Amino acid sequence: MKIHWTKFFLFLGYMFLYIPLLCIVVYSFNDSRYLSTWTGFSLRWYKALISNQIILQATWTSLKVASISATVSVILGTMAAIVFTRFGFFKGKSLFIGAVTSPLVMPEVVMGLSLLMLFVGLEKFFGWPNGLGSTTVIIAHITLTLSYVTMVVQSRLQNVDKSIEEAALDLGASPLKVFFVITLPMIAPSIILGWLLAFALSLDDVVIASFVAGPGSTTLPMVIFSSLRFGISPEVNALATILMTTLSIGVIIMAIIIYKKNLQNGAKNETIHYSIGK
Amino acid sequence: MYRIEEIIIVWFSDLLKKIRGRDLIIAIPYVWVFLFFICPCLILIKISFSDAILASPPYTSILDWLSGTTLQLRLNLGNYLTLFTDEMYIKGFVTSIFIAGTSTLCCLLIGFPMAYAIARSSEKFRTILLMLVVLPFWTSFLIRVYSWIVLLSPAGIINNILLNFNLIRAPLSLMNNSYAACIGIIYAYLPFMILPLYSAIEKIDNSLTEAAYDLGCTPLKAFFAIIVPLSMPGIYAGSALVFVPAIGEFVIPELLGGSQTLTIGRLVWNEFFGNMSWPTAAALSIVLLLFIVFPMVIAQKRKDESSFAMEA
């Protein structure tokens, strides 16, 4: 009897998680502008979306910002994760750990505000960054996503057997070679996952971008956010459906790839730990 | 007698020789977080003590050179004083804590049965069930909030259904109140509650509950005597993971809460973009950070205590 109750709760929970999203998908195909009437299946909102120059421009900006910041973030984050797990004590290590991990809990408003104040101050004293734009958004997103990437890569590095690296070092390989030949292949799944997480976070951020974006660098979430203030819009339904489908398919494919790879390595539970992300 | 450039070049090449690869790996991310995380925080603290003026940038410097040799430090505590005397800000603190607390509690009530059910399901399905919990998190955050506008707004789906079945005559105002903001936060942060709860419950040995049944415990009593105490680390971790982002949340109260639900996050935004008052916005941010540090310290302490108790 008890098992039935827990299953019932689980079913309700999944209904709660998925029904709101399903509603958007269904109504994105509604011909009517209003939710009150279903006037028939149509793709007109998708067509309207494709011809919307503002949204296309913002999508391009967002993809550019997200891919650049995810790439830089993965490089810096891997370095930080190595410092966390492989390097012993050095002066200022605790400050470093604190500064890398704090953005995880920092409210976005505070982060956006403080970064904007920094950029204004820098511009006043050094004449750089010469107005807000994509560069400032990229810098802000790297700082935001760095902590997530570091956490993901670090949790993998902790599970990798150190003795393999040590053996290679004993046999005379240089530390750099050990990293590229031994460590990197072992932590590759977590690096890919960190990149995806950073990409998704950057593609999702509206608050920090609103603070540090300039006139020419409006990102897609900023466009969606400003149209949401006016309530329900069928075009946003269509856009949301496209975004959800692409992201879910991407994540599912990635999960399957990592799951299979881990099965080969005999560590199957790690997929879940990675996908926890935030 | 060397020229200054030569001295610098010699010094710099010496430095380069001394730098090992190891130092470089520390230095690159360190410089980044110092420049773009530590410095902004220091600037935030600095501006929170300055006066607002009509200029660009709109605040005064807190350090002034007086007559060449005296450095004067002027700290304006007025910004902080206003926050704790003006009714609007106090109300904002109360609203934020209310919304974050309610949502955390509701997440726990919804998340615990779900996490328990997943942890007790057969191993084959667990990965898929967990994937299903995490998947909405990967879809855009804004869209998840938007889905509740679609459901709750006066022209939204719930009101349409109720009107069609003649259960109500006029649309209910389900949106633009603090409860709608709570629903949005619960919806957005539920995965953060379920995952730590799951990993805590999964570790509990099934034989413990079986032993309790054998000794005559009712299922309900066994649940509260065994499962709940043993999943305490997960409860604290999950609550912190929901409470901390909820208290600084801006987007959800802005879109679902209406103009009355002024949380701290929205106040910071309004002070900055609306009133152009940088010092007040900075002081509010610092207070918001204190609101976050406090529950985190508690959660960490409790987590340490309970894991210590488990080992003992």
pLDDT band at A2 (very low <50, low <70, confident <90, very high): low
Which residues 87-116 of chain B have a CB within 8 Å of chain A? Answer: 110-111, 113-114, 116
Which pLDDT does position A271 carry in this prediction?
44
Instruction: Examine the domain organization and report whether B190 and B60 are in the same domain.
Output: no
Instruction: Examine the domain organization and report whether B172 and B274 are in the same domain.
Output: yes
Relative orientation angle of helices B123-138 and B87-120, to the nearest 10 degrees: 150
Instruction: Examine the domain organization and report whether B105 and B69 are in the same domain.
Output: no
Using the predicted structure, report yes or no on whether residue A275 has a pLDDT greater than 50: no
Q: How far apart are CA A274 and CA A196, in angstroms?
A: 11
Instruction: Examine the domain organization and report whether B182 and B49 are in the same domain.
Output: no
Q: Which superfamily is assigned to A53-276 in CATH?
A: MetI-like (1.10.3720.10)
Using the predicted structure, report yes or no on whether residue B133 has a pLDDT greater than 50: yes
Average pLDDT on A60-88 reads: 93
Residue B64's DSSP bridge partners are B72
- A88/B contact by beta carbon, under 8 A: no
Q: How many structural domains does chain B have?
A: 2
**Three-state SS annotation for B146-179:** HHHHHHHCCCCHHHHHHHHCCCCCCCCCCCCCHH
pLDDT band at B63 (very low <50, low <70, confident <90, very high): confident
What H or E segment, with its residue span, contains residue B131? helix B123-138
Q: Which among A106, A120, A272 is the nearest to B57, CB-wise?
A: A120
Which pLDDT does position B174 carry in this prediction?
86
- B42 against B139, higher pLDDT: B42
pLDDT band at A272 (very low <50, low <70, confident <90, very high): very low
Q: DSSP state, A172?
A: T
Instruction: Examine the domain organization and report whether B9 and B138 are in the same domain.
Output: no
Which pLDDT does position B23 carry in this prediction?
82
Are A110 and B285 a contacting pair at CB < 8 A?
yes
- A203/B contact by beta carbon, under 8 A: yes
Using the predicted structure, report yes or no on whether residue A78 has a pLDDT greater than 80: yes
pLDDT band at A265 (very low <50, low <70, confident <90, very high): low
Are A175 and B22 a contacting pair at CB < 8 A?
yes
- B55/A contact by beta carbon, under 8 A: no
B296 to chain A: which residues are within 8 Å by CB?
A: 105
Are B28 and A76 a contacting pair at CB < 8 A?
yes
Instruction: Examine the domain organization and report whether B268 and B239 are in the same domain.
Output: yes
CA distance A238 to chain B (A): 11
Instruction: Examine the domain organization and report whether B125 and B22 are in the same domain.
Output: no
Using the predicted structure, report yes or no on whether residue A274 has a pLDDT greater than 50: no
Average pLDDT on B154-162 reads: 86
Q: How far is CA B188 from CA A125, B93, B146, in A?
A: 41, 21, 11
Which pLDDT does position A5 carry in this prediction?
76
What is the pLDDT of chain B when averaged over all its residues?
A: 86
Average pLDDT on B101-125 reads: 91
Q: Which among B114, B142, B250 is the nearest to A109, CB-wise?
A: B250
Which residues 118-137 of chain B have a CB within 8 Å of chain A? Answer: 118, 120-121, 127, 129-137
Domain with B189 in it: what CATH number?
Answer: 1.10.3720.10
Closest-approach residue (CA) in chain B for A89: B26
Which pLDDT does position B89 carry in this prediction?
93
What pLDDT digit, counting tens, does each position of B68-84 carry? Answer: 777 777 788 888 988 88
Residue from B181, B98, B194, B195 nearest B145 by CA: B181
Instruction: Examine the domain organization and report whether B71 and B109 are in the same domain.
Output: no
Using the predicted structure, report yes or no on whether residue A164 has a pLDDT greater than 90: no
Which pLDDT does position A214 carry in this prediction?
84
- A94/B contact by beta carbon, under 8 A: no
Average pLDDT on A174-182 reads: 87
Instruction: Examine the domain organization and report whether B48 and B104 are in the same domain.
Output: no
Closest-approach residue (CA) in chain A for B175: A231
Which pLDDT does position B306 carry in this prediction?
67
pLDDT band at A177 (very low <50, low <70, confident <90, very high): confident
pLDDT band at B250 (very low <50, low <70, confident <90, very high): very high
Q: How many contiguous H segments (helices) and E segments (strands) does chain B have?
A: 16, 2
Q: What is the DSSP string of B177-240?
A: SHHHHHHHHHHHHHHHHHHHHHHHHHTS-HHHHHHHHHTT--HHHHIIIIIHHHTHHHHHHHHH
Most confident of A3-7, B3-7, B107-111: B107-111
Using the predicted structure, report yes or no on whether residue A1 has a pLDDT greater than 50: no
Q: How far apart are CA A136 and CA A129, in angstroms?
A: 7
pLDDT band at B2 (very low <50, low <70, confident <90, very high): low
Which pLDDT does position A145 carry in this prediction?
95
Average pLDDT on A151-167 reads: 89
B140 to chain A: which residues are within 8 Å by CB?
A: 203-204, 221, 224, 240, 243-244, 247
pLDDT band at A81 (very low <50, low <70, confident <90, very high): very high
Q: Which among A82, A99, A221 is the nearest to B25, CB-wise?
A: A82
Instruction: Examine the domain organization and report whether B97 and B117 are in the same domain.
Output: yes
What pLDDT digit, counting tens, does each position of B3-22 carry? Answer: 777 777 777 777 766 667 77
H helical segments located in chain A: 2-27, 44-50, 53-86, 93-101, 108-126, 134-159, 162-170, 175-178, 184-204, 207-212, 220-228, 234-265, 270-276
- A200/B contact by beta carbon, under 8 A: yes
Are A231 and B153 a contacting pair at CB < 8 A?
yes
Share of chain A above pLDDT 90, in %: 38
Which pLDDT does position B180 carry in this prediction?
93
Closest-approach residue (CA) in chain A for B264: A109
- B288/A contact by beta carbon, under 8 A: yes
Are B150 and A23 a contacting pair at CB < 8 A?
yes
* Half-sphere exposure at residue B5, Cβ-oriented, CA atoms within 13 angstroms: 0
Instruction: Examine the domain organization and report whether B43 and B167 are in the same domain.
Output: no
Are A207 and B250 a contacting pair at CB < 8 A?
yes
Note whether B33 and A146 are within 8 A (CB): yes
Q: What domain range includes position B49? A: 4-78
What pLDDT digit, counting tens, does each position of A128-138 carry? Answer: 777 788 899 99
Residue that is last in its domain, among B53, B78, B103? B78
Which pLDDT does position B29 carry in this prediction?
92
Q: DSSP state, B38?
A: I
Which pLDDT does position A262 carry in this prediction?
67
Which pLDDT does position B193 carry in this prediction?
94
Instruction: Examine the domain organization and report whether B53 and B144 are in the same domain.
Output: no
Using the predicted structure, report yes or no on whether residue A269 has a pLDDT greater than 50: no
Note whether A247 and B140 are within 8 A (CB): yes
Q: Which among A17, A23, A106 is the nearest to B157, CB-wise?
A: A23
Which pLDDT does position A277 carry in this prediction?
41
What pLDDT digit, counting tens, does each position of B195-213 carry? Answer: 999 999 998 888 888 888 8
